[in-house]
Amino acid sequence: MTDLIVLNPEAISDGDLNVKPLADRPTSLDGLRLGLLWNDKRGGDTALKHFGKLFQERYKDLTVNFYQGPRGYPDDLLDKAFEENDIFIGSTGD
């Protein structure tokens, strides 16, 4: 038998070295501000706004704010949305 020893080409992801816990969740969205982040792709705005509508039907005094940005969401848009909302839903990819 012959052994072939080889080295692993796969890198470690920087993400694995900088793991963050997910943010604490509220038990209810009553009285909160829901930010909807749209990535410009067709259909994403319809989906997000429908989520907004459904959540407003479910929860009391829920404010819904809609944001639209190019893919990659520039920092100033993220800053604004972060300040103005408590919780978020976003659209991704195509």
Partner 1 sequence: MEQRGKPAAAIVSGGFEEDAAITGRVLGLPDLKYIMVPDVLTGLPDELICSQIEDALEEANEILTSPPGAPRVRIGEGLTGREPAAPETFSGEDVMVAWEAMNNEWLSRGWADGFPLIAPTPERVAATLRGTSLAPDHVVGILPPGRGIATVEKIAINCVMAGCEPAHLPVMIAAVKAVIAVAGPGYDMSTSADAPLLIVNGPIVKELGINSERAALGPGVQSRVNIVLGRAMRLIKMNIGFNRPGIMDMDTIGAPTKFSMCIGENEEKSPWDPWHVEHGFDEDKSTVAVLNIRNQKELADMFNTTPEGVLDTFAFGLSVTPEHYGYYGRHQCSYLLMISPEHASILERYGWDKESVRRYVWHRSEIPAARHTNQIELMHKDVQSKHWQWYLNMPQEQKERLMLPVVETPDRYKIVVVGGVTGKSLSYSFMGAYSTTEITDRVAV
Interface contacts to partner 1, rule CB under 8 A: 1-29, 35, 37, 40-48, 50-51, 54-55, 58, 68, 70-73, 78, 81-82, 85-94
Tokens of 11: 């890198």
CB of 60 to partner 1, least distance (A): 14
CB of residue 10 to partner 1, shortest distance in Å: 5
- Beta carbon nearer to partner 1, 6 or 60: 6
Whichever of 29 and 64 has its CB closer to partner 1, that residue is 29
Which residues are within 8 A (CB) of 30 and not within 5 positions of it... i.e. 6 or more apart?
59, 60, 61, 62
CA pair distance 72, 47, nearest whole angstrom: 19
Shortest separation between residue 83's beta carbon and partner 1, angstroms: 10
> What is the C-alpha to C-alpha distance for residues 48 and 43, in angstroms, rounded to an integer?
9
Contact 66, 46 (CB under 8 A): no
